[in-house]
Structure 1
Amino acid sequence: MEEEAAQAAEGGLSFEPLEVFNLRPLFGHGEVHWYTITNATLWMAIAVLAIFALFVIGTARRSVVPSRSQSIAELIHDFTYKMVEDVAGHEGVKYFPYILTLFLFILFVNVLGLIPTSFAPTSHVAVTAVMALAVFITVTVIGFVKNGAAFLGLFWVKESPLILRPIIAVIEVISYFVRPVSHSIRLAGNVMAGHAVMQVFAAFAAIALIAPLSILAIAAIYGLEVLVAAIQAYVFTILTCVYLKDALHPGH
């Protein structure tokens, strides 16, 4: 802190690129506990309200000639339905509401997190890990309920040589339990990286000599982050569909 103050006094550049990811209580000050209502809680609630506004209020009339909000809602619905059907098969369609909810929540949280002075909850592994663990537990339960002990066939690769099957089985079990880790870190890491880069370029905008270049860079990165927000929601969702397919058809 003393170094930063000294730099600021000398006219140097001083900024905290990760400050934008700090959790802050909405009411009062102090430590953040698991029950504390924070800025992350606020923006997740706003995302839920935005989804409700689009899919409930925006489609209330259900016109033959759809309004803009109804068209957007139908486009997202049909896109997600087709993805579930193509990846998880016809049996996976019964789990479509859950997968659509995941996709919408991640998409809206990511996009809302790009609003200046907002907060991106998906930049925290604590948020993405909960969703990833929920997916992991859900597909595992579905796999055992639907297939019983035959679900373990997912780890026993019959096409491989007999001598290699035990080794491959150990590798498959490890990779299966690593799924929620990679599933959660991929989303949080990509969201955090983009926001951190924008924060760094925003700090350079304070220097008059390179301010124009910094502003152009921020605009370009912002456009890229809008794309990343949608892509990461898609990646998280399609991986959920792949895991669901494994649970429904472990022998395939």
Structure 2
Amino acid sequence: MNGAPILRAEHLSLRYPGGKQAVSDVSLSISAGTTLGIVGESGSGKSTTAKMILRLLKPAAGGSVVFDGVELTSLPQRSLKRIRRRLQVIPQNPQASFNPRMTVGASVAFNLRVHGATRSVAWDRAAHMLDRVGIPAAYAHRFPRELSGGQLQRCAIARALITEPELVVCDEAVSALDKSVQAQVLNLLAHIQAESGIAYLFVSHDLAVVEHVADHVLVMQHGRVVEEGTAAQIWSAPSQPYTRSLLDAAPDRLLARKPTPSTHAATAWKAPLD
């Protein structure tokens, strides 16, 4: 990948309680304005790797996660909180990721308030971000149960972006959505990246999704990286039987590749999403 990495992780390993090896010696890097895809079947270690990068899990001794020159693995919690404003996550299940007792606008605003913003500033920013991702202002006062899955996932994107992060971890961020809504959300993420230069770590079991968004790809199996390369290399000439088997199991490869930046990107963000 081109440019100095905004994030570099080296020799990440983790054993779960009981001794099971979840991840073994995984290294990766991500540059600004690019997307790194991690693919693999359930249990391959891809989400555990993402959680170590977010410091939700701490890697075994010898593992390193450096974000914009700062080593995260040894960072105190107070300092880590400041970093989290710049390192956000879009989770898998939009329904489960919002507090059912808070309106979606309050949830989006809260992600900025925990980083010190006043209530009025956070609400103004939340309204702006929801508008940018195509959610009407009136929807900010609705509860999560009153929105569709696609609308709620747009709210999750607004919540992640409200802090103006430089890297967003998308952990199976569209797997709960149907195919038509998936394509709309993926296009939204691509247009945001084209305008802002944000970097994504995109974790998915769905190779068609990763083909759509990724510049560089890691293929994981049993906690290890078994193949890596550009998206074009992986899809045109996979070197490992495991990667070929994943490709053979993903016949639905009809999504277009990452959209080219366009002067109409802001309009595309607001395409109707049911």
TM-score, with length taken from structure 2: 0.28
Greater share of strand residues, 1 or 2?
2
TM score, norm. by length of structure 1: 0.29
Higher relative helix content: 1
